[in-house]
């Protein structure tokens, strides 16, 4: 079963606008990660936020985490056409030395010129 | 550095045939993973290997077997392919929390 549910399923914006995606999950976590997937490619890690953190920034990315609501959001500011991709949240149920991720269903972002 | 490589890129099988998907990494990571991705869904974990010599089931292991051949290589075998195994398969590695993914193998079972 999917741990994370993402909202919206699809998002279309114009270049320069901000894009916000939300992720909800069901069980307690060690950390939550966001990945990007360009069409036909593998996933690329974007950012990780630990369960004791509330907000994290990386370049144009801002991630928030609310463990009481079991939810996270990813904000991409000043979007570019190159940001067009699917974005997935993944919760980390760390099992020993392996990072055992459970992925959400993803948000498809389309950035138009 | 190639990172994580997967072979083949594409494969078509008939129901009942067997095949092995190969994954290799040059990142010196201890942990390796196999996922499948179906249309409109996120990735689901099939099997993982926390370190050389160990393997464990993930969320959807039925119909698959794995071998951690050495630190670099982790293979996924379908003994008797079924149409329900039509999917895109991704291999990944990690040393810490972050995972690094290969380009995927697109498998169709007819």
To the nearest whole Å, the CA of A18 is away from the closest chain B CA by 23
CA Rg value for chain B: 13
Q: Which two tokens stand for residue A84?
A: 């067009």
- Would you say A89 and A100 are in contact if contact means Cβ atoms under 8 Å apart? no
To the nearest whole Å, the CA of A54 is away from the closest chain B CA by 18
pLDDT-based confidence at B39, cuts 50/70/90?
confident
- Would you say A76 and A36 are in contact if contact means Cβ atoms under 8 Å apart? no
CA Rg value for chain A: 13
In angstroms, the CA B7 to CA B48 distance is 18
Q: Which residues of B touch A (CB under 8 A)?
A: 4, 30-31, 33, 35, 40-45, 48-51, 56, 58-59, 90, 92, 94, 96-104
DSSP states of A62-76: EEEEETTTTEEEEEE
Which uninterrupted H or E stretch holds B101?
strand B99-101
Region of A40 (left: φ > 0; alpha: ψ -120 to 50; beta: rest) is left
Phi, psi of A10 (to 5 degrees): -145, 145
pLDDT at A37 exceeding the cut of 90: yes
Q: Which two tokens stand for residue A65?
A: 């985490």
Q: Would you state the pLDDT for residue A95?
A: 58
Q: Which of A43, A94, A102 sits opposite B101 (nearest CB)?
A: A43
pLDDT-based confidence at B2, cuts 50/70/90?
confident
3-state secondary structure of B85: helix
Please tell me which of A4-13, A27-36, B16-25 the model is most confident about, judged by mean pLDDT: B16-25
Contact assignment for A41 to B104 by CB distance below 8 Å: yes
What mean pLDDT, rounded, does chain A reach? 93
pLDDT at A1 exceeding the cut of 70: no
Residues B62-104 pLDDT 10s: 999 999 989 999 999 999 999 999 999 999 999 889 999 999 9
Q: What is the mean pLDDT of residues A85-100?
A: 85
Q: Which of B43, B51, B104 sits opposite A97 (nearest CB)?
A: B51
Which residues of chain B does A96 touch, with a Cβ-Cβ cutoff of 8 Å? 50
To the nearest whole Å, the CA of A8 is away from the closest chain B CA by 13
pLDDT-based confidence at A76, cuts 50/70/90?
very high
Nearest-by-CA chain B residue for A31: B97
To the nearest whole Å, the CA of A15 is away from the closest chain B CA by 25
Q: Which residues pair with B89 in a beta bridge?
A: B36, B105
């Amino acid at each position: 079963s999917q741990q994370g549910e993402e909202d919206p399923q699809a998002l279309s914006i114009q270049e320069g606008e901000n894009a916000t995606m939300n992720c909800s999950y069901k069980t307690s976590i060690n950390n939550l990660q966001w990945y990007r997937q360009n069409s036909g490619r593998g996933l690329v890690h974007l950012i990780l936020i630990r369960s004791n953190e509330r907000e994290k920034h990386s370049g144009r990315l801002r991630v928030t985490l609310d463990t009481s609501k079991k939810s996270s959001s990813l904000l991409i500011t000043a979007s570019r056409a190159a940001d067009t991709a699917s974005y997935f949240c993944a919760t980390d149920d760390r099992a020993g030395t392996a990072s055992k991720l459970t992925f959400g269903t993803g948000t498809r972002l389309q950035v138009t010129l | 550095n190639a990172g994580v490589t997967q072979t083949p890129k594409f494969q078509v099988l008939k129901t009942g045939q067997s095949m092995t998907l190969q994954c290799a990494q040059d990142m010196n990571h201890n942990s390796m993973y196999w996922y499948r991705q179906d249309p409109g869904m996120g990735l689901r974990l099939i099997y993982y290997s926390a370190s050389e010599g160990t393997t464990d089931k993930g969320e959807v292991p039925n119909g698959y077997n794995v071998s951690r051949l050495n630190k670099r290589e982790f293979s996924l075998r379908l003994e008797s392919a079924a149409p329900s195994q039509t999917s895109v398969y991704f291999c990944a590695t990690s040393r810490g929390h972050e995972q690094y993914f290969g380009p995927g193998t697109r498998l169709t079972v007819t």
